[in-house]
Amino acid sequence: MTDSKLQVIPLGGLGEFGMNCTVIRYGEDIILVDCGMMFPDAELLGVDLVMPDLTFLKEHQSQVRALILTHGHEDHIGAVPYLLSEIDVPVYGTPFTLSLVERRMEEYDLEKEPRLIKVKPKQAIAVGPFKIEFIHVTHSIVSAVALAITTPLGVIIHTGDFKVDPTPTDNELFDLHTLADYGKRGVLLLLSDSTNADRPGYTESERAVKPRMEEIFSRAEKRIVVSCFSSSIHRIQLVLDLAEEYGRRVAVIGRSMTSVTEIAHSHGLLSIPDGILLRPQDAMDLPANKVAFLVSGTQGEPMSALSRVAVDNHKHVSVERGDTVVLSSRIIPGNEKAIFRMIDHMSRRGADVMYGSMNPPLHVSGHGSIEEMKLVLNLVRPRFFMPIHGEFRQLSKHARLAEHLRFAGLEESFVMDTGDILEFDQHGARKAGRVTVGHVCIDSGSVDDVVQEMVIRDRRLLSEDGIVLAIIAINRHTGKLESPPEIVSRGFNVGADGSSFTDAAKGIVAKTLESSSKEEKTDWGVMKEKVRADLKRYIVKETSRRPLILPVIMEV
C-alpha cells in the first residue's frame, strides 16, 4: 500500500447491533473509532459478552496511534479493556466517557496503566497524519460527540450515535453549525448512524417523556419504581426533579445505576437536590407515598436489581399491591421473554406496571429517524457515503435515502459488511478486499475467559442432544473388564424401550473392549476413541441423534 491511500475498515457494527469499531488507516498510521461489545443471542450458550476479533489490529499494532471514543454506551466502549490488554494505545474521549471506561477497567487486571486523554467539544487534536475535531451531538447519553477527521485526502465525518434534539433537557444543542461548515468546505466521506433508518419522521425530544412522568408522579398513591438505562442521565435527572416536586425521596438501586449516577454527579452532569437521596435499606420504612426508586435492569437480566425485585428477592425493595412500576426504556429485540416474565411477576403482586408505546411516551429513542438523517446528509453533502451502526436492512435503507436526495457532489454510497475495506486515492473510492473479522465470546466478563468455538459447539450439542457416559472398569494388570460397562445418559431420550437400548449400548462397549488387543487396552486414549466411535455409530443408526459421548475408564 502506498502512502497516498486512505482506508476505512469496519471491524464491527455493520449488519449487527453493537460491537461498533472502525479502523481509519492512512499509509502506516491507524486510528480506531470506538471499540464496543454486544450481548449474545440465544445460540451462544453460556456466553456473557461478545467482542470484535481484533486480529487485524494485533497484526498492525505498531501502526495503531490512538483509540477515539464517541460516547460511553457499552456498544461503543465495552471492548476497550480487551483492546488495551492486547495493544497499549492512548484513548481519547470526553471526561464522562472516560470515567465510564475507567469503571469498566476496574473489572480487569491490565499490566499497564491506561493512557486516557480527556477532550471536549470544539477541541481538535493531531494524531499522526490525522487532525480530529470533536463535535457535540445529542443522544440518549450525555457528552456524546461526532468526529471530523481531516486526512491528507480529505475530511471524514463520523457521526457516532445521534439524534437531532431541538430541546435537549440540558440545553446543549447538537452543533449543526460546525457540521455545516465542514459541508461547505467539502467532505470526502460521511459515516452516519443508521439505527432508525426504517423509522419515518423525527425522533421525539427527550422532553417528550416529562408529561407522562409528571402524570405518574401526580396520581401514584403508593411507591413508584422507575427503571431506565443507567446511562440515561437525562431520564435520571427528570425522576429526581419530579420526586422533589412531589415530595418523595429517592433510593438508587443496582450497581450500574449507583456508579453511573455517582460519575455523572461528579462531572456536574447530574444535579441532585439536597436531602432527596435515601439509603436503600431505609426506603421501605418511609410511607409508601413518600418514596421512589431508581432501579437498573430494564432488560430482565436474571440477576439484575429489577429482576430480583420482581421475584421479591431483593434485600431492600419489594413491590406491593398498588405500587406503580415504570419501565422507561425500549425492549431490546431478543429480550422480550425475560422482560414480560418480569412484568408478569410484578403484576401478580398487584403492581401497576407501565411499559411499551404510549402517548405521551415513557421512553424516546436516542437515535435520529429518517428526517434527521436527511438533515445531516444535506448539511454534510459528502462525495462518498457509508452508512454505519445497524443491521443490513437499515444500512441499505440509509444508502437509498442518500441516493434519493441527489444533492450535488454525491458520487457513490457504499453498503459495507464488517471486514470490508473501503479504499480512497486521488482517483476516487472503491471496495478493496477484506480483513480478518469475527466475534470473540467472553464467558464471565474477564478478557482471560475467551470461549472457543468448540466449547460453544459442545454446549449447543448438550442442549439439543444431551450426553451419554460410558463408564468402564478395567483391571490394570489383566486389561479385562471387572464388571459390565455402565451407560448413563442425561438430556438424551431413548424412548419407551429405554432398557433394551441401554443393554444394547452396553453390549457394543463390551464388544469393543473384547475385540481390542492387549496393547490397545493399555492405551486409554485409544480405547476411549474406539468406544466413542462405536457407540456413536450405533446411536446415530438407532436414533438419528448425536449426543456428546464421553467414555470414562476407571482403573481397578
CATH number, residue 279: 3.40.50.10710
**Which of 161, 193, 323, 534 is the catalytic position?**
193
CB 178 within 8 A of CB 150: no
Rounded to whole angstroms, how far apart are CA atoms 99 and 542?
59
From first CA to last CA, the distance across the chain in angstroms is 65
- pLDDT for position 445: 46
- pLDDT for position 1: 42
Counting as low any pLDDT under 50, the low residues of the chain are 1-2, 44-45, 445-449, 451
Residues 278 and 381 in one domain: no
Q: Please report where in the chains the cell 449474545 appears, as a residue.
A: 40
Q: Helices (H) and strands (E) in the chain — how many of each?
A: 17, 27
* Domain boundary, last residue among 404, 423, 450: 450
* Domain boundary, last residue among 317, 334, 354: 354
- Whole domain around residue 482: which residue ranges? 466-555
CB 223 within 8 A of CB 243: no
- pLDDT for position 453: 54
Collect all residues with Cβ–Cβ distance below 8 Å to 261 and sequence separation of at least 6.
230, 236, 252, 270, 294
- Name the residue among 337, 262, 257 with its Cα closest to residue 294: 257
Residue 1 counted as domain residue: no
- pLDDT for position 476: 67
- pLDDT for position 519: 67
Residues 239 and 195 in one domain: no
CB 470 within 8 A of CB 509: yes
Phi (first) and psi of residue 432, to 5 degrees? -140, 60
Residues 210 and 189 in one domain: no
Residues 414 and 295 in one domain: no
Rounded to whole angstroms, how far apart are CA atoms 40 and 439?
10
CATH number of the domain to which 530 belongs: 3.10.20.580
* Domain boundary, last residue among 327, 354, 381: 354
In the 3-class helix/strand/coil scheme, how is 4-20 assigned residue by residue?
A: CCEEEEEEECECECCCC
- pLDDT for position 470: 87
**Which of 76, 345, 367, 398 is the catalytic position?**
367
Residues 184 and 49 in one domain: yes
Residues 445 and 497 in one domain: no
Residues 38 and 173 in one domain: yes
Residue 123 counted as domain residue: yes
Q: Is 53 a catalytic residue?
A: no
- pLDDT for position 483: 81
Q: How many domains are contained in the chain? A: 3
DSSP 464: H
Residue 20 counted as domain residue: yes
- pTM, whole model, 2 decimals? 0.81
Residues 312 and 417 in one domain: no
Residue 243 counted as domain residue: yes
Rounded to whole angstroms, how far apart are CA atoms 357 and 412?
37
Residues 191 and 100 in one domain: yes
Residue 460 counted as domain residue: no
Residues 135 and 193 in one domain: yes
- Name the residue among 406, 402, 408, 432 with its Cα closest to residue 419: 432
Q: Is 75 a catalytic residue?
A: no
Residues 212 and 197 in one domain: no
Q: What angle do CA 193, 31, 21 make, to 5 degrees?
A: 40
Beta strands in 343-444 (DSSP E): 352-354, 384-388, 412-413, 420-425, 428-434, 439-442
Residue 124 counted as domain residue: yes
DSSP 32: E
Residues 29 and 155 in one domain: yes
Residue 360 counted as domain residue: no
Bridge partners (DSSP) listed for residue 430? 423
Residue 458 counted as domain residue: no
